[in-house]
């Protein structure tokens, strides 16, 4: 028996159910074979640490990756380093309790050298002398610091400034870079800080930059060639699935030489997926999962440090990625749909910018395929789930991507299987009907996690364990 718990993961399994009449769907595209019964191939062409943690195990100093959020408490003063006013002025060491101003996001240069980004997105640096400030919006040599960890206690650190001296908290109001090299790590040493790691990001940016270009290329190519194979497509087809959703990152359009730190090879893997899909009579939904600037700050968005920065200035670059993908795969028999963006988050991504992009992305995709569906993801967060209905109705063959997660909330963890099923019947069905209108766009419903299943195995246990939740989802939304 071969277990697939690390490959095609059950919590990512979903049904792609277009919630209008099947006859209408087929009339719009005779080749789409609706409804699609699909699995999301997450963690393959866009790496995510929670899906395959072993990818990150060989990175030196692997808890200090890009986007890791850290706080530094002065061992002598017992107070935290803080970017006064969140940035734009000096650093102080006077906060008894840490919060946003006392949290620094790492930009990793190598395993021990970093830029430190503060709350208002400036970088810590020197003011030309030895005073420590956070005023620059860009990182250069004067904003580059080395974090030196104590051999027998890695939480105790010293921070070496670009002038060769170490930071010290002289007083609560004075943080300078003028402490000499030698230390015995005493508690009263003003250059010793206790570092607390708050959050670690584990996405493709962190993976490739953490390993460096040569090792990252080896790791990623091994991953791409083994994580999903032709055998998986054969297995999925034999067990009732007729489509796959494949997340990709924006850097795929520059393969085989994408911008650093990303490495080339994912485009070849996507080409293989289309070949296998055609061989086993399956469809492919290409999902632009990571966009330039990051649409949600999550590790799967290709972000460096967790800030969500996508907006109007990135629209042209993002449309170019859609154009590239549609041009390459638009004439493939297995090409079923393209998703313009995965999980934009409100309010950072505005509905105005998103609508402008969706219109342009739709036009780019339509240049190469008149039949493939164009999927528009709803914004997560504080947003009206009906806000894209008007736009979708104006775009023929568009689909609204609606996410319903029964996995990440304690509310659902405390429910048994039947209670989860009842919730889908009673609550989710009503929510989905709210975004389903006569002659409106189709609905792409996913995220109804089969969280009671821990393994995908070839002996049929997945089908047995998922039988009731699957039937519930099909009945409620099919």
C-alpha span between 25 and 442 (Å, rounded): 8
Say yes or no to pLDDT of 28 above 70. Answer: no
| Token pair recorded at residue 365 | 């995709």
Query: Quick one: pLDDT band at residue 429, thresholds 50, 70, 90?
Result: confident
Task: Of 133-137, 283-287, 356-360, 437-441, give the lowest mean pLDDT range.
Answer: 437-441
Domains and CATH numbers, the chain: 10-57+203-477 (3.20.20.80), 69-199 (2.80.10.50)
The separation between CA 266 and the C-alpha centre of its own chain, rounded to angstroms, equals: 16
Ranked by mean pLDDT, which of 28-42, 157-171, 377-391 comes out on top? 157-171
Indicate if the pLDDT at residue 109 is higher than 80.
yes
| Mean pLDDT to the nearest integer, 20-38 | 47
pLDDT of residue 228: 96
Selected residue with higher pLDDT from 382 and 452: 382
pLDDT band at 445 (very low <50, low <70, confident <90, very high): low
116: phi then psi, degrees, rounded to nearest 5: -115, 115
Report the pLDDT value the prediction gives residue 343, as an integer from 0 to 100.
95
pTM for the whole structure: 0.87
pLDDT at 288: 98
Average pLDDT score over residue span 321-347: 97
For the stretch 381-428, pLDDT in tens is: 999 989 999 999 999 999 998 877 776 677 877 888 888 778 877 877
Tokens of 171: 């007083």
Query: Token digits for 34?
Result: 């609706």
Residue 20 has pLDDT above 70, yes or no: no
The pLDDT of 326-340, averaged and rounded, is: 97
Q: What is the pLDDT of residue 95?
A: 97
Going from the C-alpha of 238 to that of each of 38, 232, 332, 334, the distances in angstroms are 13, 10, 22, 17
Mean per-residue pLDDT of the chain: 86
Give residue-wise pLDDT tens across range 61-74. 999 999 999 999 99
Chain centroid to CA 67: how far?
Answer: 12
pLDDT at position 147 over 60: yes
According to the 3-state scheme, what is the secondary structure of the chain?
Answer: CCECCCCCCHHHECCEECCCCHHHHHHHCCCCCCCECEEECCCCCCCECCCCHHHHCCCCCCCCCCCCEEEEEECCCCCEEEEHHHCCCEEEEEECCCCHHHCEEEEECCCCEEEEECCCCCEEEECCCCEEEEEECCCCHHHCEEEEEECCEEEEEEEECCCCCEEEEEECCEEEEEECCCCCCCCCCCCCEEEEEEECCCEHHHHHHHHCHHHHHHHHHHHHHHHCCHHHHHHHHHCCCCEEEEEEEHHHHHCCCCCCCCCCCHHHHHHHHHHHHHHCCCEEEEEEEECCCCCCCCHHHCCCCCCCCCCHHHHHHHHHHHHHHHHHHCCCCCEEEEECCCCCECCCCCHHHHHHHHHHHHHHHHCCCCCCEEEEECCECCCCCCCCHHHHHHCCCEEEEEECCCCCCHHHHCCCHHHHHHHHHHHHHHHHHHCCCCCCCEEEEECCCCCCCCCCECCCHHHHHHHHHHHHHHHHHC
Taking residues 355-382, report their average pLDDT. 96
- 227-241, 247-261, 283-297, 396-410: which has the minimum mean pLDDT? 396-410
> Between 17 and 352, where is the model more confident?
352
pLDDT value at residue 443: 72
Q: According to the model, what pLDDT value does residue 64 have?
A: 98
433 vs 239, higher pLDDT: 239
Residue whose tokens read 């296998």: 276
Peptide bond into 39 cis (omega under 30): no
């Amino acid at each position: 028996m071969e277990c697939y718990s690390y490959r095609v993961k059950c919590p990512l399994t979903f049904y792609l159910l277009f919630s209008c009449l099947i006859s209408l769907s087929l009339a719009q595209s005779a080749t789409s074979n609706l409804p699609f019964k699909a699995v999301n191939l997450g963690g393959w062409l866009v790496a995510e640490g929670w899906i395959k943690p072993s990818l990150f195990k060989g990175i030196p100093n692997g808890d200090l990756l890009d986007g890791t959020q850290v706080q530094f408490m002065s061992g002598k003063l017992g107070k935290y380093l803080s970017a006064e006013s969140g940035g734009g002025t000096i650093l102080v060491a006077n906060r008894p309790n840490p919060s946003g101003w006392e949290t620094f996001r790492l930009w990793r240069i190598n395993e021990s050298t970093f830029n430190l980004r503060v709350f208002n997105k400036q970088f810590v640096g020197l003011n030309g002398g030895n005073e420590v400030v956070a005023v620059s919006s860009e990182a250069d040599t004067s904003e580059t610091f080395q974090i030196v960890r104590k051999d027998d206690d890695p939480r105790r650190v010293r921070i070496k400034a670009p002038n060769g001296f170490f930071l010290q908290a002289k007083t609560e109001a004075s943080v300078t870079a003028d402490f000499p090299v030698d230390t015995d790590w005493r508690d009263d040493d003003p250059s010793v800080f206790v570092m607390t790691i708050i959050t670690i990001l584990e996405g493709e940016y962190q993976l490739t930059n953490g390993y460096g270009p040569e090792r990252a290329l080896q790791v990623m190519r091994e991953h791409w060639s083994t994580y999903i194979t032709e055998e998986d497509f054969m297995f999925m087809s034999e067990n009732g699935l007729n489509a796959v959703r494949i997340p990709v990152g924006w850097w795929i359009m520059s393969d085989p030489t994408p911008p650093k730190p990303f490495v080339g090879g994912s485009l070849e893997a996507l080409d293989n997926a289309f070949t296998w899909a055609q061989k086993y009579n399956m469809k492919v939904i290409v999902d632009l999962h990571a966009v330039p600037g990051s649409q949600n700050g999550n590790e799967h968005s290709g972000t460096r440090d967790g800030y969500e920065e996508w907006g109007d200035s990135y629209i042209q670059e993002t449309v170019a990625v859609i154009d590239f993908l549609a041009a390459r795969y638009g004439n493939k028999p297995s090409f079923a749909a393209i998703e313009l963006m995965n999980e934009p988050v409100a309010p950072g991504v505005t509905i105005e910018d998103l609508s402008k992009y969706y219109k342009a992305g739709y036009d780019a995709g339509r240049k190469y395929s008149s039949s493939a569906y164009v999927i528009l993801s709803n914004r997560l967060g504080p947003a009206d789930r009906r806000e894209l209905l008007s736009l979708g109705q104006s775009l023929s063959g568009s689909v609204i991507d609606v996410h319903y997660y029964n996995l990440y909330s304690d509310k659902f963890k405390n429910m048994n299987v039947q209670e989860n099923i009842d919730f889908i019947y009673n609550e989710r069905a009503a929510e989905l009907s709210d975004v389903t209108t006569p002659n409106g766009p189709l609905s792409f419903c996913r995220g109804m996690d089969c969280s009671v299943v821990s393994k995908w195995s070839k002996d049929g246990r997945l089908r047995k364990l998922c039988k009731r939740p699957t039937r519930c989802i099909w009945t409620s939304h099919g």
